[in-house]
Amino acid sequence: MSESRAERPAPVSGRAEPLDPVSRRAETQDPVSGRVEPQDPVSGRAEPPAPVSGRAEPPAPVSGRAEPPDQGGRAKPPAPLVLVSGAGVAGPAFAWWARRRGLRPVVVEAAAGPRDGGQSVDLRGAGRTVIARMGLEDAVRREGTGERGVLFTDATGRRRAAIPLEAFARFGGEGPTAELEILRGRLAGLLYEATRDTVEYRFGERIAEVEDGAGRDGRARVRLTGGAVYEADAVVIADGIGSATRDLVFGPRDAAGRPRLHPLGLSLAYLTVERRPGDGPWAVWQNAPGGRSVVLRPDNAGTTRALLSFLGPPCLRERDPAGRRALLRERFADVGGAAPRVLAELDSAAEFYAEDVGQVRMDTYSRGRSVLLGDAAYCPSPISGMGTSLALVGAYVLAGELAAHPGDHAAAFARYEVRMRPYADRAQRLPPGAPRLANPRTRTGIRLLHTAVRAATRPPLPALAARLVSPPADAITLPDYPEP
Ligand SMILES: Cc1cc2nc3c(=O)[nH]c(=O)nc-3n(C[C@H](O)[C@H](O)[C@H](O)COP(=O)(O)OP(=O)(O)OC[C@H]3O[C@@H](n4cnc5c(N)ncnc54)[C@H](O)[C@@H]3O)c2cc1C
């Protein structure tokens, strides 16, 4: 659903040595022992980068190379190899915790480098705790956008209502602006930077095939689009809302024939536009009849983040990027205010990301050795303000359960699902009337929305309003997991 012209190239240094993937040729020549490992990535030693040419890997020269023996003379068991699809938020966060728990993650990302797009995302509740436990809270705070709250304006720019950051905080809740906000691309960047020296990343590749149980000792044999083959103890599918890997492993529809993605009747596009002198520290939300909205948000990168959204059945997924831009131009042609400025930059915007908003609902999070994580598993939609926190908490819990159940991926996946499902289900329960109430179809509806916002931010109503709109970010107790 997105395209990017600002993608950074894959890093070429400073990474741990790639864990020799096993090519099909290698398999026939010299089957790799399940007990031996090519290289202990724990050292984090910088080695030449993994080949990402798209050609099959050379035969794995690993047979017979065992870990150094422990004091009893026994070979150290190899760290379980976990292949992760997707280097957004969930994938790198999982890789960080997996390394911490003694697992060996390899991350495969379809894009040519870490993706920089998106607006501010919220870090709330347990998600914020996970970031703090990773030692990244200060970095996130430093990178915060400093958004002060949301201003509702009309097309002339006149202020109609406002939700300041503090409006909900004093009642223990969080409104549309969370206290800890960061550009989605910067968060993904921080997580990547925290892992790139110790985790192998393979950019520009995808998982092409997963053969469960076809590897040694029942491991999954996973083939990448570039031809490399891994024998994985677990496969973590963290490649976002439209996950093709999820469709590959679980099929595109559930047992009742329903697609995995449940549309919420809203489509949106994010792009980065030039900052203008009038752009301040507030998000400015302009409603237009027909269920359309234009939102401008501050960033800390010298630009402004724009959002165009409109109510209606899914219509973006089926279009190519040019088709999506054409549709947005058509839909917003008669909207004044900030719309012409955003439309004028549609073609030149460095990052353009568009999606039909929906929720991913899975009747199970795992199949065989594969397990879903983040938006691919339980996308709650951007309306919930919970997608990033869910991804971070899921990453923490999944890595912890894998470490707590060595050699038993099925038990680990089952515990992960028991812990995460109630949290994810609650995050998917949206405030009543969402997304229609925030995107009225008529001028009268827009006036009513502004009146309701004014009322909801004045005591004594905020306590109730805070309960209604604050995401259930703390509705999980983070377990403590064993360190290796
Ligand atoms: C460019 C972009 C901009 C976004 N902007 C916003 C925003 O402004 N507000 C908001 O609330 N949410 C936004 N999101 C979604 C938000 O990041 C997620 O809801 C949340 O952080 C959970 O993250 P995730 O890692 O599960 O998924 P994502 O952050 O979506 O990451 C998925 C990753 O998987 C990669 N990928 C996709 N298909 C494959 C494949 N077949 N093989 C390998 N890799 C693949 C993608 O390139 C991406 O890097 C955005 C996502 C993206 C990708």
Identify each DSSP E strand in 289-341 by its residue range: 292-298, 303-311
Ligand 1 centroid distance, CA of 376 (Å): 9
Q: Tell me the domain boundaries of the chain.
A: 2-117+186-258+361-428, 145-184+262-359+432-469
Does the pLDDT value for residue 219 go beyond 60?
A: yes
Q: Average pLDDT for residues 215-225, to the nearest whole number?
A: 97
119 lines ligand 1 (CB under 6 A): yes
**What is the reported pLDDT for 132?**
95
pLDDT at 68 over 70: no
Q: How far is the CA of 89 from the centre of ligand 1 (A)?
A: 7
CA angle 182, 264, 472 (to 5 degrees): 50
Q: Provide the CATH number for the domain formed by 145-184+262-359+432-469 in this structure.
A: 3.30.9.30
Contacts (Cβ under 8 Å, ≥6 apart) of 88: 115, 188, 238, 239, 240, 374, 375, 391
DSSP notation for 211-258: ETT-SGGGPEEEEETTS-EEEESEEEE---TT-HHHHHHH-SB-TTS-
Average pLDDT, the chain: 82
- Ligand 1 atom closest to the Cα of residue 117 is 1
Q: Is the pLDDT confidence value at 35 over 80?
A: no
Give the ligand 1 atom nearest the CA of 120: 8
pLDDT in tens, 353-376: 899 999 999 999 999 999 999 999
43 secondary structure, DSSP code: G
Peptide bond into 435 cis (omega under 30): yes
What fold is seen in the domain 2-117+186-258+361-428?
Answer: FAD/NAD(P)-binding domain (3.50.50)
Q: Which of 241, 243, 375 to mutate to test the pocket of ligand 1 (most atoms within 8 A of CB)?
A: 375
Sign of the Cα torsion 49, 52, 57, 60 reads positive
Top pLDDT among 108 and 167 is at 108
State in Å: Cα 436 to ligand 1 middle. Answer: 24
Show the CA angle centred on residue 72, arms to residues 70 and 76, nearest 5°: 35
Q: Give the angle subtended at the CA of 167 by the CAs of 163 and 168, to the nearest 5°.
A: 115
Q: What is the per-residue DSSP string for 335-402?
A: --TTHHHHHHTTTT-SEEEEEEEEEE--S-SEETTEEE-THHHH---GGGT-HHHHHHHHHHHHHHHH
